Amino acid sequence: MPSEPFPHPVRTEWKILALLRRDNPGITYAELGRQLGVSHLTIMHWTRKPLYQSYENWLINATYDNTPLALKRTRAEVKYQLDEFAEEMLERLRDIVETSGDERLIAQIGFDVLDRAGYSEPKRDANRPINVVLTTELLAQLARRAQEAVAAPDLIEATPDCIDVPKVSHA
């Protein structure tokens, strides 16, 4: 176990939860909830709390620090294994594309592979908010144009009473 204690008090349930997640990284919230006697929603709530996340990270780091050097894998070893796995998955995806008749599946695989390879389509800013700065000069110009529109009712269907134009002072 860790040599330095965690600097904050932590609930006993959180300690058990962190140990279970450390020892079984793929365990589901439902299974964790069953083992701890609480709802899976409670587990989700706990795991989103910053103090719990801090405790779990501390526990994992402390456990890793106490692991014998002979059992620790280097970053290079992990990267090598991930690279081999990625090549194998790419071959499997290629086989699926070549043998599948499902055009939607082929398109999805193609888009995903291209995206991960760095060939994603440019991000659209359609949902990005637009900030408009209205200066007093611009407001005055808009007011003038509104009055011009009222003065020419035959060009557009407008009457003086349908547009309320506030007076803009030029101070």
* pLDDT score of 164 more than 80: no
Residue 4 included in any domain: no
Pair 148, 168 in one domain: yes
Q: How far apart are CA 57 and CA 149, in angstroms?
A: 65
2 neighbors 37 (Cβ within 8 angstroms): no
Cβ neighbours around 138 below 10 Å, total = 11
Model pLDDT, residue 45: 95
38 neighbors 14 (Cβ within 8 angstroms): no
Of the candidates 47, 49, 61, the residue with the CA atom closest to the CA atom of residue 6: 61
Residue 6 included in any domain: no
Residue 88 included in any domain: yes
Pair 103, 146 in one domain: no
Residue 165 included in any domain: yes
* pLDDT score of 40 more than 80: yes
Domain tally, the chain? 3
Pair 17, 60 in one domain: yes
168 neighbors 139 (Cβ within 8 angstroms): yes
Pair 59, 89 in one domain: no
How large is the average pLDDT for residues 149-154?
Answer: 71
Per-residue pLDDT reduced to its tens digit, 86-141: 899 989 999 999 998 899 999 998 888 888 888 877 666 667 777 788 889 888 99
46 neighbors 14 (Cβ within 8 angstroms): yes
Enclosing domain of residue 51 = 12-65
- The model's pTM is 0.43
Lookup: tokens for 103? 């055009």
Residue 123 included in any domain: no
Q: How far apart are CA 117 and CA 150, in angstroms?
A: 58
* pLDDT score of 157 more than 60: no
- How far are the Cα atoms of 44, 90, 95, 98, 131 from residue 119, in angstroms, in the given order? 35, 16, 21, 21, 30
32 neighbors 20 (Cβ within 8 angstroms): yes
Residue 7 included in any domain: no
